[in-house]
């Protein structure tokens, strides 16, 4: 009976986006911190699962509508809390504003940031929602982090807003280096999770939570995390 039960498990659809260094495609294969963690969770749970790279907006929609579906890595917020079943966190990042050093921009508060000229942020990011809710009228919604960095490089915007954990990879894709930009005013801390659809069996989600706890206990989570982000602090199982 046990074997029969296991064989009837539905295949999980695990959706992610192009977001190095947590998830990205290279030579037709998926890589990244979150991808490695998810693959290890698949191995530990014994679930049948398929990881698929999709545009964020489509992945986010499917992860709310389909059973046996999850999206990673997504920010856990009060607005999203009831829309998903959460496993994590996988990482925690701090969002700041960034400008070109050559611009010599200076500001000390959010109002000054809002008055500092055009600010590019991918429109699908929670960062965009947050700044819009705080009254920023200088937002320039773009389609990708690469577009955001490219606009900064060519002077089409004065600022971008992104996270410390992904900054280097995003800058590289847009043709900039970390020593060419200036960080300003950290304003948001975000925890990233695997978010299962509400239609997914709660027993599946609980199985994944236990497997992630096991990774923390045996040190394998920290090992993967430090391989991708050697200078960052890995989250604990209870954050």
Mind listing the pLDDT tens digit for each residue in 55-102? 988 999 999 999 999 999 999 999 999 999 999 999 999 999 999 999
Same domain, 15 and 84: yes
pLDDT tier at 4, thresholds 50, 70, 90: very low
> Looking at the domain assignment, is residue 237 inside a domain?
no
Same domain, 102 and 171: yes
The DSSP-derived string for the chain is -HHHHHHTPPPEEEEE-SBTTTBEEETTEEESHHHHHHHHHHHHHT--EEEEE--HHHHHHHHHHSTTEEEEEEE--TTTGGGSEEEEEEEEEEEEEEEEGGG----SSHHHHHTSS-EEEETTSHHHHHHHHTT---EEEES-HHHHHHHHHTTS-SEEEEETTTHHHHHHHTT--GGGEEEEEEEEEEEEEEEE-TTS-HHHHHHHHHHHHHHHHHTHHHHHHHHH-TTSPPPPTT-
> Looking at the domain assignment, is residue 239 inside a domain?
no
Same domain, 23 and 86: yes
Q: What is the pLDDT of residues 165-207, one digit of tens each?
A: 889 989 999 999 999 999 999 999 999 999 999 999 999 999 9
- Domain of 73 in residue numbering reads as 2-92+192-228
Q: What is the pLDDT of residues 103-146, one digit of tens each?
A: 999 999 999 999 999 999 999 899 999 999 999 999 999 999 99
Number of domains in the chain: 2
Same domain, 82 and 196: yes
pLDDT tier at 237, thresholds 50, 70, 90: confident
């Amino acid at each position: 009976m046990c074997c029969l039960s296991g064989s009837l498990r539905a295949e999980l659809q695990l959706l992610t986006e192009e977001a190095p260094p947590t998830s990205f495609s290279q030579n037709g294969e998926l890589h990244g911190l979150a991808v490695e963690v998810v693959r290890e969770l698949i191995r530990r749970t014994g679930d049948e699962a398929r990881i698929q790279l999709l545009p964020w907006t489509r992945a986010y929609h499917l992860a709310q509508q389909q059973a046996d579906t999850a999206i990673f890595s997504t920010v856990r917020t009060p607005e999203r809390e009831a829309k998903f079943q959460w496993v994590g966190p996988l990482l925690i990042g701090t969002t700041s504003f960034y400008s070109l050093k050559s611009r010599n921009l200076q500001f000390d508060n959010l109002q000054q940031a809002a008055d500092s000229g055009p600010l590019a942020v991918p429109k699908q990011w929670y960062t965009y929602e947050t700044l819009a809710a705080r009254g920023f009228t200088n937002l320039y919604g773009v389609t990708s982090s690469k577009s955001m960095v490219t606009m900064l490089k060519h002077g089409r915007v004065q600022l971008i807003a992104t996270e410390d954990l992904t900054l280097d990879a995003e800058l590289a894709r847009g043709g900039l280096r970390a020593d060419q930009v200036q960080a300003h005013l950290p304003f948001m801390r975000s925890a990233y999770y695997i978010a299962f659809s509400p239609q997914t069996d709660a027993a599946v989600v609980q199985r994944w939570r236990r497997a992630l706890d096991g990774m923390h206990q045996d040190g394998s989570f920290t090992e993967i995390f430090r391989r991708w982000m050697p200078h960052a602090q890995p989250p604990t199982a209870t954050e």
